[in-house]
């Protein structure tokens, strides 16, 4: 039996301020760091020892993983960081307060941007300082693959090659892996794990700092799942 633990990062500064975060690299709050520590303790208390870690290029997920790993006394476990596991790119909405954005554009439009499957927010242009091309960590991404504003569908298609080409092979080598990432990149993984439909995935909410354990058979079918 194989096991995957999905862990959404702890509360971030912009979660607290109710802003669209996306690829903006904000850190954890004190509460977020406590959520990460508690997540590691819950995993350890369940008698589970992850043997391989994955995370994104964003510090709120990286720090969540580091804190949780310390709480499990597993700071030495190997980790792969992959930009495909980054949060959904919210384009021109990044940095805006969600309530103020709803007042400006209307609740219905903001709801479509946030909760539809295939409607992307307004894209940003290369001259925008928020464009990923200005960040050295993304220097290796070809221009035609660099996100500038993604729908959930776009995010799932971005995450898919990481799942199929990098994560799944490691699951074949290790009994238990842990993936610390973001609400929408984790929704992408859950959709693939559970073979969910677009209508099912858009209503899925994943809480911060809550380890979600999936147990799989040899064919990567989910046979059991629970939050720890």
Question: What does DSSP assign to residue 213?
Answer: E
Alpha carbon distance 152, 115 (integer Å)? 8
Q: Please name every residue paired with 79 in a beta bridge, in sequence order, or none if there are none.
A: 53
Please, is 115 exposed, middle or buried when counting C-beta atoms within 10 Å of its C-beta (0-12, 13-18, 19+)? Answer: exposed
Catalytic pick from 9, 63, 89, 131? 9
Alpha carbon distance 90, 23 (integer Å)? 7
Cβ atoms of 31 and 10 closer than 8 Å: yes
Alpha carbon distance 104, 49 (integer Å)? 47
- Beta-carbon count within 10 A of 25 CB: 16
Catalytic pick from 35, 87, 89, 150? 87
Q: If DSSP codes are grouped into helix, strand and coil, which group holds residue 76? A: coil
Does the active-site annotation cover 200?
no
Does the active-site annotation cover 9?
yes
Catalytic residues, which ones?
9, 87
């Amino acid at each position: 039996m194989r096991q995957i633990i999905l862990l959404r990062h702890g509360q971030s500064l912009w979660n607290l301020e109710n802003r669209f975060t996306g690829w903006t690299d904000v850190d954890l709050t004190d509460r977020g760091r406590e959520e990460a520590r508690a997540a590691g303790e819950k995993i350890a208390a369940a008698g589970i020892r992850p043997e391989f870690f994955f995370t994104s290029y964003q510090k709120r997920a990286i720090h969540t993983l580091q804190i949780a790993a310390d709480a499990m006394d597993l700071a030495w476990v190997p980790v792969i960081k992959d930009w495909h596991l980054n949060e959904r790119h919210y384009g021109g909405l990044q940095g805006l307060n969600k309530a103020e954005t709803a007042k400006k554009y209307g609740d219905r439009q903001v709801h479509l941007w946030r909760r539809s499957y295939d409607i992307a927010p307004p894209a940003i242009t290369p001259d925008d300082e928020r464009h990923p091309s200005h960040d050295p960590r993304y220097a290796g991404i070809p221009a035609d693959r660099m996100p500038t504003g993604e729908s959930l569908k776009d995010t799932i298609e971005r995450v898919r090659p990481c799942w199929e080409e990098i994560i799944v092979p490691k699951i074949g080598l290790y009994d238990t892996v842990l993936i610390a990432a973001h609400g929408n990149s984790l929704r992408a993984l859950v959709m693939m794990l559970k073979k969910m439909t677009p209508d099912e995935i858009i209503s899925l909410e994943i809480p911060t700092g809550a380890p979600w354990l999936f147990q799989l058979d040899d064919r990567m079918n989910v046979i059991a799942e629970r939050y720890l």
